Every structure is written in structure tokens, then in C-alpha cells.
Structure 1
Amino acid sequence: MNRDEFLLHNRPEIVIENPESIREDLSKFQNFTLRAVLKVQNDVLLRICTDFLQKNYKNFSQQQSLDKVKLLQQALKSNIQLKTLLFGVIAGFLTSQELDFYLQNASEINKRLSAFIFKRVSEQL
């Protein structure tokens, strides 16, 4: 089993109603690839974000939930190193073909990834 086969074999199946209605390549990539990889990497994303927030914001753990979410949003918008690390955590779980597509469309995909990561992590803070 090669790396690509291993990655695809170990991804969770994402159930989407009417998958044939998704026609745009970016939407297909988002729904079938990114959502599965985000699900697999959920614990890693959460841990990286909470570790970053605890190290960079005093008394983060004592903050109210809404304040934690605002700090996360601020960090994801302004800290390029954090975003790059999070994107890398996702890119490392893409097959060769998916990585090629990601690199060709990185700007748009990174916008979508930022939103997905924010939503996923903020719901778990």
C-alpha cells in the first residue's frame, strides 16, 4: 500500500446528500477532501490552537467562551505562523493529486480552510 492509498483508506467517509449536485471542482475538493481531513486532524488542530492561545494570551483558560472565540479569531487573522502551521497539518494529509490541486488553488482553499478551522476549533473551546 502506497502513501496515497493509505491516506484514502484511513479517512472517514463524509456523507453528503445529493453528491452529484456538486459540480464545481473547489466545492468537491472542499466537501469530499477537506472535510474528511479536518475530521481526521481535529484533535491536532484543537491542540495546536489551544496551546498557541494559552502561550500568547494571559489567563486564556479563565476567559469566557465568547472571549476565547474572539481571541482565536484574532490569532487566525493576524498570526501568519499559526495559519501556516495549521494549513501544513491539513496539507500533510493530502494525496499527491490532491496536493497538486491544493497548490494550484491555494489562495481560495486557504480562505475556506481558515473558515473551517475557525468554526471547528471555536465550537470546542
Structure 2
Amino acid sequence: MNERAIFLKELRGETIGTVSSNSSSDEVFQNQVIRPILKLQNDLFIASFKNYISKYKNDFYNQSTEKKLAQIENAIQKDIKYRNALKGMVIGLFTSDEYLDYIKNSSSLNKRMMSMLTERLKSQIDSFEKA
């Protein structure tokens, strides 16, 4: 294992969630790679969404909580440019071997990644209140 891979794995920390012999390869990748990266990058995701709000959704702060949650979901699901930027923030912390595993089933893993990220941001809706 090269120095970068060792550094990234130490930086991300332990597996989050359960991995068993019955786990699918997507579940294993999700719990060993994606979840730790999402946790590590949480502050960056919050800063990124605050920037997204300021550039594209100035009315965000005047919306009901329900509409704010819908806007978070829409931003991640429908704004391809923003979605790709978020994916880059995650994929950039993959090791070379993890990237090779990722590209084998990137469509399914992208869905998992974006779904978890959407829920993560929605659960922190208070972070997006205007200061």
C-alpha cells in the first residue's frame, strides 16, 4: 500500500456501520469508504451548501422547514453541476484501489452516496439558518 492510501485510511478512520459476510460489495464499500468520508468532509459539505444557497437560492432563508428540506434534495438530485462537485469532494479521498472498485459499480454507489449526503444535510438544517 502506498503512502497516500495509508494516509487516507488513517485520516478517515474506522468503518462506520456493520460489515458482515452477508454484506453486498456495495454495502461494504459504503460502510468502509463512503460513510467515513462523508463524516470527515461534513464541514466542507455544509460550507458548500451555504455557498450554493447564497449563489442560487437567496429565498432559502424565508422558506418553511419543509421547503428548505425539499430544496436541499432538489439541489443534490437535480443540479448536475453541484452534484458533480459534491461527488468530487468524496471521490478525491478514495485510494487508487477504492477508485478501481468504485468505477465497477459507480451508478449504484453514486445513488448511495448522494442519498446519504442528502440525509446528512437535511439532518443539519439548523446549520443553514441565516446568521
Aligned letter for 2:5? D
**Offset at 1:15?**
4.8
User: What residue identity is the alignment partner of 1:13?
Assistant: E
What whole-Å deviation, never above 9, does each CA across 1:85-119 have from its counterpart, x for those lacking one?
A: 00000000111111111122111111111101100
Specify the alignment match of 2:13 in structure 1: 12
Aligned residues: 124
Higher RCO, 1 or 2 (CA under 8 Å, sep at least 6)? 1
Residue of structure 2 equivalent to 1:30: 30
Distance in 1 (alpha carbons) for counterparts of 2:64 and 2:75: 17
Distance change in 2, residues 1:101/1:57 (3 Å): same
CA RMSD of aligned residues (A): 1.6
Which structure 1 segments of 5+ residues have no match? none
Q: Following the alignment from structure 1 to structure 2, what is the Cα–Cα distance between the partners of residues 113 and 70? A: 18
Which amino acid in the other structure matches residue 24 of structure 1?
A: S
TM-score with structure 2 setting the length: 0.86
> Residues 96-111 of structure 1 correspond to what in structure 2 (within 5 A)?
96-111=96-111
After TM superposition, the score normalised by the length of structure 1 is 0.89
Write the distance in 1 (CA, Å) between the matches of 2:97 and 2:12: 16
Report the AA paired with residue 86 of structure 2: L
C-alpha distance in 1, partners of 2:16/2:71? 32
Mapped partners of 2:93, 2:20: distance in 1? 25
Alignment correspondent of 1:3: 4
Q: What does residue 129 of structure 2 align with?
A: none
Residue of structure 2 in register with 1:77 after alignment: 77
Contact 1:102–1:109 (CA under 8 A) maintained in structure 2? yes
What letter matches 2:47 in structure 1?
A: R
Structure 2, unaligned runs of 5 or more: 126-131
